[in-house]
Every structure is written in C-alpha cells, then in structure tokens.
Amino acid sequence: MSHRLEARLRLACAGANDAREPLLCQYNRQRKPPHYNSLTCALSRAKKLAGVTTVWGLHDLRRTGARALYERTHDIRKVQRFLGHASPGQSWWYLGNAGIDLSNDDMEPIAMEPIAERLSA
C-alpha cells in the first residue's frame, strides 16, 4: 500500500461516526453503505470524467484483477483465493485465454483458509 493511500484510508477511518460503519460510507453523501446501484453510478460518473467510452463495469474490474494476478504468479490457487471461489474451476473461467495452459489436475479443489489467515499472509 502506498503512503498516500494509507493516509487517505486513515483520514476516512478517523471521520467514521461508528467503528462498525463501512469505510465506503465515508464517500457516500448520505453516509449509507454502498450498494450495487450506487457503485455502478459512481463508476459511470468516473468513466465519463475520465473520457472512457468503452462499455465495461465492476465485474470487468474483477476479471482484470484475476488475469493480472495470474499473469504475475501463474498460480490458479492465488487467483481462487483472490476471487473467494470455492473451487479453482470457478476461477479458471475468469482467466480466458490466459488460463489455457491449466489442466484438470490444476482444478482440484482446495480447502479455503479462514480470511484472518489470508490477510496475515
């Protein structure tokens, strides 16, 4: 995490009304938890401001993140954990042609480790 991002996150956390308030409430005018519609509207506004004219959405960001992780690591298990899938086969779909070198043996399910262990790794 960059120092700039850390500073912004600390500032957002300091402005919380309640420790249980979701972080993204800080960026919502009504301080309500975000939902799919509010996120897609915010993404549309950001794309318009940036001059992006191609059609893509939040799920495309998830797929792009999965493909970038696989290109860097060539480890379907890391992609599986990143996406929170129960089976590597679910994650394979996200890779498109990047995952063409994977075999059925690579798709054997693994037990998901608790989130606390994933975050500390």
Q: What is the pLDDT of residues 97-110, one digit of tens each?
A: 776 677 767 666 55
Q: What is the pLDDT of residues 2-24, one digit of tens each?
A: 899 899 888 888 888 887 888 77
pLDDT, position 41: 86
Q: What's this model's pTM, rounded to 2 decimal places?
A: 0.55
pLDDT, position 73: 92
- Rounded to 10°, the helix 88-95/58-73 angle is 100
> What percentage of the chain has pLDDT greater than the value 90?
17
pLDDT, position 110: 53
Q: What is the pLDDT of residues 73-101, one digit of tens each?
A: 989 889 999 999 888 888 888 887 776 67
Q: Is the pLDDT of residue 31 over 70?
A: yes
Give the largest Cα separation in the chain, rounded: 49
Q: What is the pLDDT of residues 33-46, one digit of tens each?
A: 778 888 888 889 88
Quote the radius of gyration of the chain (alpha carbons, Å). 18
User: What is the mean pLDDT of the segment spanning 104-118?
Assistant: 57
Spatial CA neighbour of 24 closest among 2, 43, 4: 43
The confidence band for 120, taking pLDDT boundaries of 50, 70 and 90, is low
Q: Is the pLDDT of residue 69 over 90?
A: yes
